[in-house]
Chains A and B, each alone.
Chain A
Amino acid sequence: MKSRIFKHASLFLCAAILASCIGCSSGSQNSGSSAPATNNSTNVSSETNWPQKKLQIVVPFSAGGDTDFHARLYAKYLSNILGQNVIVTNVNGSNGATGSTQVKDASPNGYTALFFHDSMLMNKVVGVTDFDHTAFDICCGGVVDTSYILAVNASSPYKTLDDLVQAAKKDPGKITYASSVGGYTYYVGCLLEKLTGISLNKVDAGGGSERNAALLAKKIDTNVNPYGVMKPYIDSGDFRVLCVFSDKRSDLYPDVPTAKEQGYDLAAQRVYFLAFPKGTDSAIIEKMNNAMKQVSEMPEYKKAIEKSYCLSPKFKDTQDTKSYFDKTIDQFMSDKSLIMGE
């Protein structure tokens, strides 16, 4: 008798967990559809009744990274503006190629979108994929990261970018530069070499946080990454920033000089964009573009990305983003031999 109760109880338990699992992925749909009409007053010129159901944004990396952060921050505010739930789904693998492919092959109905950045183009250049941004309908660039900095350990003798370049000239191939081969920071290293005529020992030391540890332990000499990734160590005085690869100084860390100021005309940036599968209704793209623009202007949004990633909000609309990537892919392609390491 007693055992039968337990049997039923445990079966019920299993069913309940199953239900809750399914609920987590689709349940939000129900909660969203109860209040769509109220928010549909968003001022959109072209007439589209999209979205009628939840919208899925695919982040081609696992949860917890920078791309995931930016996508989720947008999703949080977009849900209110669009009146439907905006869900972030992580599809990790092949430096973003797996998730990109999934969205590229999805139905262009406006309910699946991709949130990615310049690495999509880099993937094509190094041969990981055979498509670039033109395989999608680009919506807009939501985040523009111009915070790439070059840092050294505080105990290192280099005080300026010039110190570093001179030292590298004296001892070619001795200064270690951490990056992942075929990644964006590897490319920045190649550009620096090309610009200054120096030769660095470009080594792989893992992702952003692993590189921080390597620089802290002086296993590497220099590290290039967005400011936010190294901020804790800059604040603690463990790292010294030599320059930011940007056209002008940031308001958030005005003490850091640009590379340009120091006579090395090199700027790096990464644009996080949203894209739909090819063939999506242009009215949908316009509506999403407007909604994301609205988010990027929100003070709460500004506060969040300043605090977490040391970035100021910048927005690129559909046309801007397209021409940016058209230009970027040309540049990457012309530097292909550089990126592929001769």
Chain B
Amino acid sequence: MSRIGVFICHCGENISRTVDVERVAAEVGKLPGVAFATDYKYMCSDPGQGLLKKAIREERLSHVVVAACSPRMHEKTFRKAVESAGLNPFLCEMANIREHCSWVHQDRKEATVKAIELVGMMVERVKKNRVLPTITVPVTKRALVIGGGIAGIQAALDIADAGYEVILVEREPSIGGHMAQLSETFPTLDCSQCIMTPKMVDVANHPRIRLYTYAEIERVEGYIGNFQVTVRRKARSVIEEKCTGCGVCMEKCPVKKIPNKFDQNLGMRPAIYVPFPQAVPNTPVIDRENCIKFKTGKCGVCRKVCGPGAVDYEQEDRLIVEPVGAIVVATGFDLYSIEEKPKGSPIKGYGEFGHGRIPDVIDGMTFERLASASGPTGGKILRPSDGREPKQIVFIQCVGSRAREKGISYCSKICCMYTAKHTMLYHHKVHDGQAYVFFMDARTPGKNYDEFWRRSIEEEEAVYIRGMVSRLYQKGDKIVVMGSDIAVGVQVEIEADMVVLATAVQPQKGADALAQKLGISYDKYNFYSEAHAKLRPVECATAGIYLAGACQGPKDIPDTVSQASAAAAKVIILFARDQLEREPIVARVREAGCVGCFYCKKVCPYGAVEEKEIRDRQGNLVKVVAYVNPGVCGGCGTCQATCPSKSVELDGYTDEQIVAMIEAL
């Protein structure tokens, strides 16, 4: 006969306000098998847990039901407490009388009756719980970092410095990401290249970092501690081991006028190229779409001039399988454009700003390339249309961001600060020019941030005008900006030479496809979701996968670096153990009943079902049955629902238990 203890929590007033907890305790105490029932104000608190442990010992309890909040919140807490009192933790179950009862009901009487039934069901279920031993799985102490921007670089360096091997995968030919494109960085105005390139070199030289550039994630299998990642190394057409980075191929390439994406298409590059001179690795890549050799079969100049013979036109994509224990996702961001979007897209463009057809209306990143010493203009701020220096320049904040009508309602977080920085860079470079900024709010939380913004106004003489711009149009060689100053309450018109739009930060294109490969969740904008917004901000809900940087949400460099180091710390914590303990809530196959149809294998999202041969003593094959690998099983129960012969069951959720719960009603 079981001796079940039931512990009912008031949750402060959250539960006791609507549910008569004392009555629940009294009623539940009468149920067969219940040896002890009590209530307490905060069951999860130290005295609450003490009460539970004491009762287990003194009342010699065999099972425990805690009626409180959702098991998502405190199941672990109570199972730990039960374990420390000497019971198997899986003999403890939770009845959710907060989210499922007190929070959703108003009538005290009815809610109390419902709470009694919820607890009664759990009592019946827990009676049939088995003692489950903890499952341990080995940990592969190598990490995969996806994305070679500042987030990926920082995470890779931190993990590698802790002594573990890291595989860093970058989609572009060079690491560096967006930070390598920036001119100077707020709030200290240090040159981005100067602080970025040494870190890039550190990555390249680190003995424990293996760098795959021009590569993408093809497939991810496995689970925490034991992932198998397939990386597609795209054909570079240049053999990295042979190339010395002399650059003769780029000089001799006859195709020279291809817009360089790194320079926001303002500068030109050849068909065999490195995106920027400080690229890591300094190995060129052939852009097969624009290369004459690949288009017509003629040319082949680069192979002829290459001394070490590194150019290889026949190179093909290679697939490499890497076993890793943890994954850091740091795929970064992309910028919104005001261009017209395809019909049916949830995101819209700005017709009122000319849909990107006015040549001197540029975005913030283009301004960064113009202001950068290594940019296409050598750091001179010039108009893309005629190369003149703009004397009246207008910056517009919140373009795309905080614009529900355009499909994005979040704040992009970095624009206020980088626009303030832009006005300063402009003032430093064009002394007789005037900068205007149209803004709705200036959001500058951060160390030395507000001071920086105020400096752009008070010392660098930018004129900030509170109010959104309604329309932009070309008039001669000027762009007329129609806005309003809401502090004065008048319409404002400026004939500008150049307009810079602080466009919204969006996730990298293809972020959703990668998330599906990884099995992590993402929000409606395709930003990756953290496990808990406050308390687990760098972990995914999927164990063993961590987030760093702007792929999770708009972030500036200091925040990105902090999060990358935090993600690295999480990986290091994981690697500090040789074996992982995991929840033993897994499916088990009743081999006698299994007919080997393997429907379960087809539906299993974790790939945990294997085929197992059963042989007699003579070694003759009797039948093939399903076997669930307990290390891989995620405990979702899909196999149980699918099995036509009812031969697979999830521990703690067996048919017998579910039926018992229904019968208790």
Whether both chains belong to one complex is answered with: no
